[in-house]
Amino acid sequence: MDIEVALHRWGGAARTWQLHRSGVSDGDIADAVLSGRVIRARKGVYIENRRDPVGIAATHGGALTCVSVLATLGIWLLDSQPEPHVQLGRKGRKHKHPRCRCVEHYSAERTRFGRQSCADALIAAMQCLTTEMLFVAFESAWHLGLISADDRRRIITEAPQRLARWLRRTRGDAGSGLESLFRFRLLREGITLECQVHIRGVGRVDFRHGQVLFEIDGREHHDGDEAFHRDRVRDGAATRAGYRTERFDFAMIVHNWPQTLAVVKAAIASSDWRI
Ligand SMILES: [Zn+2]
Ligand SMILES: [Zn+2]
Protein backbone atom coordinates (compact mmCIF):
# COMPACT_ATOMS: atom_id res chain seq x y z
CA MET A 1 0.00 0.00 0.00
CA ASP A 2 1.11 3.54 -0.71
CA ILE A 3 2.50 5.10 2.45
CA GLU A 4 0.29 8.21 2.23
CA VAL A 5 -2.83 6.06 1.88
CA ALA A 6 -1.68 3.89 4.79
CA LEU A 7 -1.01 6.91 6.98
CA HIS A 8 -4.41 8.33 6.16
CA ARG A 9 -6.08 5.03 7.11
CA TRP A 10 -4.34 5.12 10.47
CA GLY A 11 -5.91 8.52 11.10
CA GLY A 12 -3.08 10.80 9.93
CA ALA A 13 -0.42 9.47 12.29
CA ALA A 14 1.11 6.01 12.72
CA ARG A 15 3.94 4.06 14.29
CA THR A 16 6.41 2.07 12.23
CA TRP A 17 4.75 -1.27 13.09
CA GLN A 18 1.39 0.08 11.94
CA LEU A 19 2.86 1.10 8.58
CA HIS A 20 4.47 -2.33 8.33
CA ARG A 21 1.10 -3.92 8.96
CA SER A 22 -0.29 -1.90 6.05
CA GLY A 23 2.40 -3.37 3.82
CA VAL A 24 4.77 -0.39 3.83
CA SER A 25 8.45 -1.36 4.03
CA ASP A 26 11.26 0.41 5.90
CA GLY A 27 12.65 1.43 2.50
CA ASP A 28 9.31 3.02 1.50
CA ILE A 29 9.25 4.94 4.79
CA ALA A 30 12.81 6.19 4.35
CA ASP A 31 12.09 7.32 0.76
CA ALA A 32 8.87 9.05 1.74
CA VAL A 33 10.54 10.96 4.58
CA LEU A 34 13.44 11.95 2.32
CA SER A 35 11.12 13.28 -0.38
CA GLY A 36 8.91 15.07 2.18
CA ARG A 37 5.76 13.06 1.43
CA VAL A 38 5.48 12.12 5.08
CA ILE A 39 7.03 13.62 8.17
CA ARG A 40 8.89 11.86 10.92
CA ALA A 41 7.37 13.42 14.07
CA ARG A 42 9.99 11.58 16.13
CA LYS A 43 11.60 8.18 16.28
CA GLY A 44 9.11 5.58 15.06
CA VAL A 45 6.17 7.98 14.61
CA TYR A 46 5.11 9.35 11.21
CA ILE A 47 2.54 12.00 10.34
CA GLU A 48 0.93 13.50 7.24
CA ASN A 49 1.20 17.11 8.21
CA ARG A 50 3.05 18.92 10.97
CA ARG A 51 0.51 21.72 11.18
CA ASP A 52 -2.81 19.89 11.28
CA PRO A 53 -4.18 19.04 14.75
CA VAL A 54 -3.59 15.28 14.38
CA GLY A 55 0.04 15.94 13.42
CA ILE A 56 0.54 18.31 16.36
CA ALA A 57 -1.03 15.79 18.75
CA ALA A 58 1.28 13.01 17.49
CA THR A 59 4.27 15.30 17.78
CA HIS A 60 3.22 16.01 21.34
CA GLY A 61 2.95 12.27 22.04
CA GLY A 62 -0.64 11.06 21.55
CA ALA A 63 -3.98 11.14 19.76
CA LEU A 64 -6.19 14.12 19.15
CA THR A 65 -9.14 14.08 21.58
CA CYS A 66 -11.78 16.06 23.45
CA VAL A 67 -13.06 19.31 21.94
CA SER A 68 -10.44 19.17 19.17
CA VAL A 69 -12.07 16.01 17.77
CA LEU A 70 -15.60 17.29 18.36
CA ALA A 71 -14.80 20.48 16.43
CA THR A 72 -13.45 18.55 13.43
CA LEU A 73 -16.65 16.46 13.37
CA GLY A 74 -18.86 19.53 13.12
CA ILE A 75 -20.30 19.18 16.61
CA TRP A 76 -21.77 22.37 18.01
CA LEU A 77 -19.43 24.04 20.51
CA LEU A 78 -20.01 27.50 21.88
CA ASP A 79 -16.33 28.46 22.07
CA SER A 80 -13.65 27.36 19.68
CA GLN A 81 -10.48 26.18 21.39
CA PRO A 82 -7.59 26.41 18.93
CA GLU A 83 -5.07 24.54 21.09
CA PRO A 84 -5.04 20.76 20.43
CA HIS A 85 -6.30 18.49 23.22
CA VAL A 86 -4.05 15.43 23.29
CA GLN A 87 -4.70 11.99 24.81
CA LEU A 88 -1.56 10.53 26.31
CA GLY A 89 -1.51 6.87 27.28
CA ARG A 90 -0.52 5.15 30.48
CA LYS A 91 3.16 5.26 29.64
CA GLY A 92 2.83 8.15 27.24
CA ARG A 93 5.55 10.73 27.45
CA LYS A 94 4.85 14.28 26.44
CA HIS A 95 7.24 15.85 24.01
CA LYS A 96 7.58 19.58 24.10
CA HIS A 97 7.74 21.14 20.68
CA PRO A 98 7.89 24.68 19.29
CA ARG A 99 4.73 26.75 19.94
CA CYS A 100 3.28 23.94 22.09
CA ARG A 101 0.01 24.94 23.74
CA CYS A 102 -1.47 21.45 23.90
CA VAL A 103 -3.96 20.52 26.61
CA GLU A 104 -3.12 17.07 27.96
CA HIS A 105 -5.49 14.24 28.84
CA TYR A 106 -4.32 10.96 30.36
CA SER A 107 -5.81 7.49 30.08
CA ALA A 108 -4.95 4.08 31.51
CA GLU A 109 -4.63 2.63 28.02
CA ARG A 110 -1.54 2.51 25.88
CA THR A 111 -0.62 5.53 23.82
CA ARG A 112 -2.27 5.79 20.44
CA PHE A 113 -2.01 8.29 17.63
CA GLY A 114 -4.46 9.71 15.13
CA ARG A 115 -7.91 10.85 16.19
CA GLN A 116 -10.03 9.44 18.99
CA SER A 117 -13.58 8.31 18.26
CA CYS A 118 -16.44 10.70 18.85
CA ALA A 119 -17.57 8.73 21.93
CA ASP A 120 -14.08 8.72 23.45
CA ALA A 121 -13.71 12.43 22.68
CA LEU A 122 -17.00 13.13 24.50
CA ILE A 123 -15.78 11.15 27.51
CA ALA A 124 -12.52 13.12 27.51
CA ALA A 125 -14.49 16.36 27.15
CA MET A 126 -16.09 15.74 30.56
CA GLN A 127 -12.87 17.25 31.90
CA CYS A 128 -12.95 20.35 29.73
CA LEU A 129 -16.60 21.25 29.04
CA THR A 130 -19.28 22.48 31.42
CA THR A 131 -22.31 20.25 32.02
CA GLU A 132 -24.31 22.54 29.78
CA MET A 133 -21.88 22.36 26.88
CA LEU A 134 -21.45 18.60 27.23
CA PHE A 135 -25.24 18.19 27.10
CA VAL A 136 -25.30 20.23 23.89
CA ALA A 137 -22.32 18.41 22.32
CA PHE A 138 -23.89 15.03 23.20
CA GLU A 139 -27.20 15.94 21.53
CA SER A 140 -25.34 17.35 18.54
CA ALA A 141 -23.28 14.14 18.13
CA TRP A 142 -26.44 12.06 18.47
CA HIS A 143 -28.30 14.14 15.91
CA LEU A 144 -25.41 13.86 13.45
CA GLY A 145 -25.41 10.07 13.85
CA LEU A 146 -21.88 10.07 15.29
CA ILE A 147 -22.69 8.07 18.44
CA SER A 148 -24.61 4.78 18.51
CA ALA A 149 -26.96 3.59 21.25
CA ASP A 150 -24.04 1.56 22.68
CA ASP A 151 -21.80 4.63 22.61
CA ARG A 152 -24.45 6.67 24.43
CA ARG A 153 -24.79 4.05 27.15
CA ARG A 154 -21.01 3.87 27.56
CA ILE A 155 -20.65 7.66 27.78
CA ILE A 156 -23.40 7.88 30.41
CA THR A 157 -21.78 5.05 32.39
CA GLU A 158 -18.45 6.90 32.35
CA ALA A 159 -20.01 10.20 33.41
CA PRO A 160 -20.03 11.41 37.00
CA GLN A 161 -23.49 10.97 38.53
CA ARG A 162 -24.56 14.58 38.26
CA LEU A 163 -23.66 14.78 34.59
CA ALA A 164 -25.16 11.33 33.88
CA ARG A 165 -28.50 12.55 35.19
CA TRP A 166 -28.44 15.31 32.57
CA LEU A 167 -27.24 13.06 29.76
CA ARG A 168 -30.20 10.74 30.37
CA ARG A 169 -32.45 13.66 29.45
CA THR A 170 -30.83 14.25 26.05
CA ARG A 171 -32.68 13.67 22.79
CA GLY A 172 -31.56 12.83 19.28
CA ASP A 173 -33.91 15.16 17.43
CA ALA A 174 -32.68 18.62 18.42
CA GLY A 175 -32.45 20.65 15.23
CA SER A 176 -29.42 22.69 16.32
CA GLY A 177 -26.99 23.22 19.16
CA LEU A 178 -28.82 26.41 20.00
CA GLU A 179 -32.05 24.45 20.47
CA SER A 180 -30.25 22.04 22.80
CA LEU A 181 -28.84 24.93 24.78
CA PHE A 182 -32.29 26.55 25.07
CA ARG A 183 -33.84 23.29 26.26
CA PHE A 184 -31.05 22.62 28.78
CA ARG A 185 -31.34 26.10 30.29
CA LEU A 186 -35.12 25.72 30.63
CA LEU A 187 -34.81 22.22 32.15
CA ARG A 188 -32.41 23.70 34.69
CA GLU A 189 -35.22 26.09 35.65
CA GLY A 190 -37.68 23.21 35.94
CA ILE A 191 -39.43 24.16 32.69
CA THR A 192 -40.21 21.40 30.20
CA LEU A 193 -41.64 22.28 26.81
CA GLU A 194 -42.92 19.90 24.15
CA CYS A 195 -40.21 19.47 21.51
CA GLN A 196 -40.38 19.10 17.73
CA VAL A 197 -44.15 19.26 17.52
CA HIS A 198 -45.98 18.96 14.22
CA ILE A 199 -48.73 21.53 13.87
CA ARG A 200 -51.20 21.27 11.03
CA GLY A 201 -50.88 24.16 8.62
CA VAL A 202 -47.56 25.29 10.15
CA GLY A 203 -45.24 22.30 10.06
CA ARG A 204 -42.72 21.16 12.62
CA VAL A 205 -42.04 23.71 15.34
CA ASP A 206 -39.14 23.64 17.79
CA PHE A 207 -41.09 23.93 21.06
CA ARG A 208 -44.66 24.34 22.25
CA HIS A 209 -46.45 25.09 25.49
CA GLY A 210 -50.22 25.34 25.31
CA GLN A 211 -51.03 27.92 22.66
CA VAL A 212 -47.51 29.37 22.45
CA LEU A 213 -44.84 28.24 20.00
CA PHE A 214 -41.17 28.87 20.65
CA GLU A 215 -38.92 28.98 17.60
CA ILE A 216 -35.13 29.04 17.78
CA ASP A 217 -33.48 30.98 14.98
CA GLY A 218 -29.99 29.57 14.61
CA ARG A 219 -27.64 31.66 12.53
CA GLU A 220 -27.48 28.96 9.88
CA HIS A 221 -31.02 29.07 8.51
CA HIS A 222 -32.53 32.41 9.41
CA ASP A 223 -30.27 34.92 7.72
CA GLY A 224 -31.31 36.96 4.72
CA ASP A 225 -34.50 38.48 3.36
CA GLU A 226 -35.91 35.21 2.10
CA ALA A 227 -35.65 33.54 5.51
CA PHE A 228 -37.11 36.64 7.16
CA HIS A 229 -40.09 36.46 4.82
CA ARG A 230 -40.51 32.71 5.32
CA ASP A 231 -40.58 33.13 9.10
CA ARG A 232 -43.28 35.82 8.81
CA VAL A 233 -45.43 33.56 6.61
CA ARG A 234 -45.00 30.77 9.13
CA ASP A 235 -45.93 33.00 12.06
CA GLY A 236 -49.07 34.04 10.15
CA ALA A 237 -50.02 30.40 9.67
CA ALA A 238 -49.46 29.80 13.39
CA THR A 239 -51.71 32.74 14.28
CA ARG A 240 -54.46 31.38 12.03
CA ALA A 241 -54.10 28.03 13.81
CA GLY A 242 -54.62 29.82 17.15
CA TYR A 243 -50.99 30.03 18.26
CA ARG A 244 -48.71 32.87 19.18
CA THR A 245 -45.04 32.59 18.25
CA GLU A 246 -42.02 33.72 20.26
CA ARG A 247 -38.70 33.73 18.44
CA PHE A 248 -35.26 33.63 20.01
CA ASP A 249 -31.93 34.05 18.27
CA PHE A 250 -28.34 33.24 19.17
CA ALA A 251 -27.62 36.49 21.02
CA MET A 252 -30.83 36.26 23.08
CA ILE A 253 -30.13 32.69 24.20
CA VAL A 254 -26.37 32.89 24.66
CA HIS A 255 -25.81 36.49 25.79
CA ASN A 256 -29.11 37.62 27.24
CA TRP A 257 -30.51 34.56 28.92
CA PRO A 258 -32.26 36.29 31.91
CA GLN A 259 -34.42 38.31 29.55
CA THR A 260 -35.15 35.28 27.35
CA LEU A 261 -36.15 33.26 30.41
CA ALA A 262 -38.46 36.07 31.54
CA VAL A 263 -40.16 36.07 28.11
CA VAL A 264 -40.62 32.28 28.22
CA LYS A 265 -42.08 32.43 31.73
CA ALA A 266 -44.46 35.26 30.78
CA ALA A 267 -45.56 33.43 27.62
CA ILE A 268 -46.22 30.23 29.59
CA ALA A 269 -48.15 32.18 32.23
CA SER A 270 -50.34 33.91 29.63
CA SER A 271 -50.99 30.62 27.82
CA ASP A 272 -51.95 28.85 31.08
CA TRP A 273 -54.17 31.78 32.05
CA ARG A 274 -56.05 31.56 28.75
CA ILE A 275 -56.73 27.86 29.31
ZN1 LIG B 1 -9.90 18.58 26.78
ZN1 LIG C 1 2.17 20.18 22.32
Where residue 238 sits, what CATH number does that domain have?
A: 3.40.960.10
- Predicted confidence at residue 225, as pLDDT, reads 76
Ranking 15-19, 20-24, 186-190, 216-220 by mean pLDDT, the lowest is 216-220
Q: Cα(2) to centroid of ligand 2, in Å?
A: 28
- Left (φ > 0), alpha (ψ -120 to 50) or beta: where does 145 sit? left
Find the ligand nearest to 103 CA: 1
Q: Cα(160) to centroid of ligand 2, in Å?
A: 28
* 248: DSSP letter: E
Nearest to 166 by CA among 109, 126, 210, 220: 126
Q: Cα(79) to centroid of ligand 1, in Å?
A: 13
Q: Cα(40) to centroid of ligand 2, in Å?
A: 16
The reply to whether 131 and 193 lie within a common domain is no
Find the ligand nearest to 106 CA: 1
DSSP β-bridge partners for residue 106: 88
**Which pLDDT band, with edges at 50, 70 and 90, does 217 fall under?**
confident
The reply to whether 157 and 125 lie within a common domain is yes
In a domain, 53, yes or no: no
DSSP β-bridge partners for residue 213: 208, 245
Nearest to 121 by CA among 80, 169, 73, 157: 73
- Predicted confidence at residue 220, as pLDDT, reads 57
Average pLDDT of the segment spanning 195-224: 85
Find the ligand nearest to 68 CA: 1
Average pLDDT of the segment spanning 104-120: 90
- What are φ and ψ of residue 245, in 5° steps? -110, 130
Among 134, 167, 200, which residue terminates a domain? 167
In a domain, 83, yes or no: yes
Average pLDDT of the segment spanning 227-253: 89
The reply to whether 198 and 259 lie within a common domain is yes
* 115: DSSP letter: B
In a domain, 172, yes or no: no
Nearest to 65 by CA among 85, 81, 48, 95: 85
Report how many domains make up the chain.
Answer: 3
With a CB cutoff of 8 Å and minimum separation 6, the contacts of 201 are: 237, 240, 241
In a domain, 202, yes or no: yes
The reply to whether 95 and 113 lie within a common domain is yes
**Which pLDDT band, with edges at 50, 70 and 90, does 194 fall under?**
very high
The reply to whether 226 and 145 lie within a common domain is no
Q: Cα(96) to centroid of ligand 2, in Å?
A: 6
The reply to whether 83 and 116 lie within a common domain is yes
* 140: DSSP letter: H
| Contact yes or no for 119/156 (Cβ under 8 A) | no
| Contact yes or no for 65/85 (Cβ under 8 A) | yes
The reply to whether 69 and 32 lie within a common domain is no
Q: Cα(103) to centroid of ligand 2, in Å?
A: 7
Reported as half-sphere exposure (CB side, CA atoms, 13 A), residue 73 has a value of: 28
Cα–Cα distance, 42 to 227 (Å, whole number): 52
Among 142, 167, 192, which residue terminates a domain? 167
**Residues comprising the chain, all counted:** 275
- Predicted confidence at residue 274, as pLDDT, reads 59
Find the ligand nearest to 98 CA: 2
**Which pLDDT band, with edges at 50, 70 and 90, does 209 fall under?**
very high
- Predicted confidence at residue 55, as pLDDT, reads 93
Which letter, b or e, does each residue of 122-139 get, where b requires 16 or more Cβ atoms within 10 Å of its Cβ?
Answer: bbbbbebbebebbbbbbb
Domain span holding position 200: 177-274
- What are φ and ψ of residue 17, in 5° steps? -65, -30
